[in-house]
Homo-oligomer: A and B are copies of this chain.
Amino acid sequence: MTRSVFFVSDSTAMTSKGLGRSLLSQFNVTLSEHLRPYINTEERVDILLNDIHKTHIEDGDAPIVFASMMDEKLMNKLSQGFAGVIDIFRPFMPTLERLMDKKSSKEVGQAHKVGNQHLYQKRVAAIEYTLATDDGLKTTDYDQADIILLGVSRTGKTPTALYLALNFGLKVANYPFTSEDLPEFTLIKAHLENRHKLVGLIISPERLLSIRRERRALGSYADPKAIAAELAALNSLFARESIPFIDTTTRSVEEIAASIMAISPT
């Protein structure tokens, strides 16, 4: 069963999307997603309502709409034009105003202003560092790292490092152990000098084989025996050196990143 869902906001709509997806994940239904950011005029609400109605007719089922517009007039227009609108903002405001002991400002597009300028610079610097130290480059710069990811090829090191840099402004180096380092993997001097920053990534042999086969089917790169040897050496290294590690087998990039944040000292 597929259900259409609209994520709507006067800003990026990423909050609507995040919460909407989390909630809908509880209903075991395939989603057809429509992102509608910057719905900040009556004209745009009209166009959106038109889209929603068209989708309703095509689907048969009514779309679900998650919306967060600060302007009450726009929110009311949307809610009165279509029954399936869930306002993800207003239900919390009375509680929050009580806890904060003040009224909300009801201003549009405030969400990203929280520490914005500073975070922007920090993120850009973090992305530059992360790119410059991708895949074992510039190990001489490891003293500047917040986190150093260790793993074999195709365990999600680069996406995870970039996600942490983009979302948290962390400088994340990543270092690959390869079949050339076998029969044993050993830490290099730059690792030893930054030991508390090391986080390992492990993965099941089956999953790694499937990822590598999709990438390059031939040679030892996607050979089950070679993969087993690499993963055995990696597990042995993490155990021997007491390096904390995350299993990436069934996890998304967000989940791997959150797990790293949970065990990392930063």
Judging by beta carbons under 8 Å apart, are A105 and B28 in contact?
yes
Please give the count of copies of this chain that the complex contains: 2
Q: Does A96 contact B (CB under 8 A)?
A: yes
Main SS at interface, chain A: helix
Chain B contacts for A231, CB-based, 8 A: none
Interface 9-residue window, one of A87-95, A175-183, A236-244:
A87-95
A189 near B: Cβ within 8 Å? no
What is the bound-complex CA distance between A86 and B252, given in angstroms? 26
Q: Is the CB of B111 within 8 A of A25?
A: yes
Is B162 a contact of A106 with CB atoms below 8 Å? no
Given contacts A15-B22, A22-B68, contact A156 B124 (CB under 8 A): yes
Which residue of B has the minimal Cβ distance to A64? B99
| Cβ < 8 Å to B, chain A residues 62-103 | 62, 64, 68, 70, 84, 86, 88-89, 91-93, 95-96, 99-100, 102
Within 200-241 of A, Cβ neighbours of B (below 8 Å) are at: 211, 214
Residue of B115, B120, B123, B163 touching A166 (CB-CB under 8 A) = B163
Which residue of the partner chain, among B19, B26, B124, B257, contacts A104 with CB atoms under 8 Å? B26
8 further A-B pairs in the complex, CB-CB below 8 A; given A86-B96, A86-B99, A109-B255: A15-B22, A22-B68, A23-B89, A28-B105, A37-B258, A64-B96, A112-B252, A121-B214
